[in-house]
Amino acid sequence: MRLALSGGGTAGHVYPCLAVAAALRQRLAQHDEPLALLYLGVRGRVDEQVLAGEGIDFRAVRASALRVRSPLRFARGLADLALGAVQARGHLRRFHPQAVFATGGYGSAPVALAARSLRRPLLVYLPDVRPGWAVRMMARLATRVAATAEDSLPYLPRGKAAVSGYPARQEFQQAAKEEGRRRLGLDANSKTLLVSGGSLGAHAINQLVAENLPALLDLCQIIHLSGAADFDGLRRHGDALPEAVRRRYHLHAYLSEMPWAMAAADLALMRAGASTLGELPLAGLPAVLVPGAFSDQAANASYLADRGAAVVLPESHLAEAVPLVKRLLQDEARLNAMSQAMRSLARPDAADRIAAMLMEIAA
């Protein structure tokens, strides 16, 4: 089988592609059928970095955001969309896929247009609860649409959409707390907080940590995924701490071992990107979620909070983060209840469900 993949340029878009590809490869192996993959994305984004270690061919297409305030940037975005669709059409014609799988974001919009123009079966996956402009547009072009959550269905075309769950990597089902703490060099018996702004980082969360690092480290050891932009400044903050305290701060610009980081943690403080809907439930990790004001993350955070699995903290209330983290880490009963609620939302067969949908439309 020949499958073209495309994501939106973040880890929350590329890892579902990899998880589905792995599930599809397992299905095809039962019939001794090989799987050929091609990934189309925007040059210089995190998906290109991730794919470099996966042995999947990457081809670049032009794309840029359209949800912008500047008329000039909007016009440039339209031009990039048109050029990217032409580039994607050329890549698809040469690769000749039997199906195309797109996981949303502006980076995959040109690929969806190209797939439609070539009449290739297109499966669009919505990782977030609420679709952005790119998924709304692509859903109209798609053969089928898969969604993480049932709350998404009212926003998607009737008759095309089905709930699959979020296709996370197998490691999220395999990782255990003890192994996670060993892999990451953590103390085996200390309370552990995972702080993450997503693959690109979140400056507001990083600044909160920098300003409150001694107070936070007095409560727990920290795994902090900062992104590249703030990494050096945060490292200086960490290096200025006394040695005994500094050992409790584990800073990473990027961490491929996220399954073990989530398994190792007792609580997360993080953005509410698409991956939180799949990875947190599989890890059973309670969370304080700080939605990005510029994104569709508020609906993701509310989805988890409404089910008792997370607490939503608006970015304007970040000053309340440290006392909130303290209360939660000291309330074992509440943490356990949140963990159970989070686990109840897990869909470990999501990648296999989407793989089956791809085989169906390819046939």
Lookup result for tokens 């547009």: 137
The verdict on pTM exceeding 0.85 is yes
Equal fold, 2-166+348-362 vs 171-343: yes
Under the banding of pLDDT at 50, 70 and 90, the label for residue 2 is: very high
* Residues pairing with 324 in the sheet: none
Cβ atoms of 86 and 113 closer than 8 Å: no
How does residue 164 score in pLDDT terms, banded at 50, 70 and 90?
Answer: very high
Closest CA to 269 of 213, 320, 341, 193: 193
| pLDDT given for residue 294 in this prediction | 65
- 2-166+348-362 CATH fold: Rossmann fold (3.40.50)
Measured CA to CA, the distance from residue 37 to residue 217 in angstroms comes to: 44
Token pair 């998404």 is found at: 152
The single-letter code of the amino acid at 277 is: L
pLDDT band at 201 (very low <50, low <70, confident <90, very high): confident
Domain-wise residue ranges, the chain: 2-166+348-362, 171-343
In the prediction, which pLDDT does 187 show?
95
d(CA 88, CA 83): 9
What per-residue confidence (pLDDT) applies to 51? Answer: 81
Average pLDDT (109-119) is: 95
243 or 53: which leads in pLDDT: 243
Res 322 pLDDT > 70 = yes
pLDDT at res. 290: 96
Reduce the DSSP state of residue 156 to 3 states and report it: coil
Nearest to 220 by CA among 186, 253, 261: 186
Between 34 and 198, name the one with better pLDDT.
Answer: 34
- What is the strand order of the sheet 221-225 is part of? 249-252, 221-225, 192-196, 267-270, 287-289, 310-312
CATH 3.40.1360.10: does it fit domain 171-343?
no
Report the distance separating Cα 153 and Cα 172, nearest Å. 26
Q: Is the pLDDT of residue 67 over 70?
A: no
The proportion of the chain whose per-residue pLDDT surpasses 70, expressed as a percent, equals 98
CB atoms within 10 A of CB 249: 21
Say how far apart CA 230 and CA 105 lie, in whole Å: 24
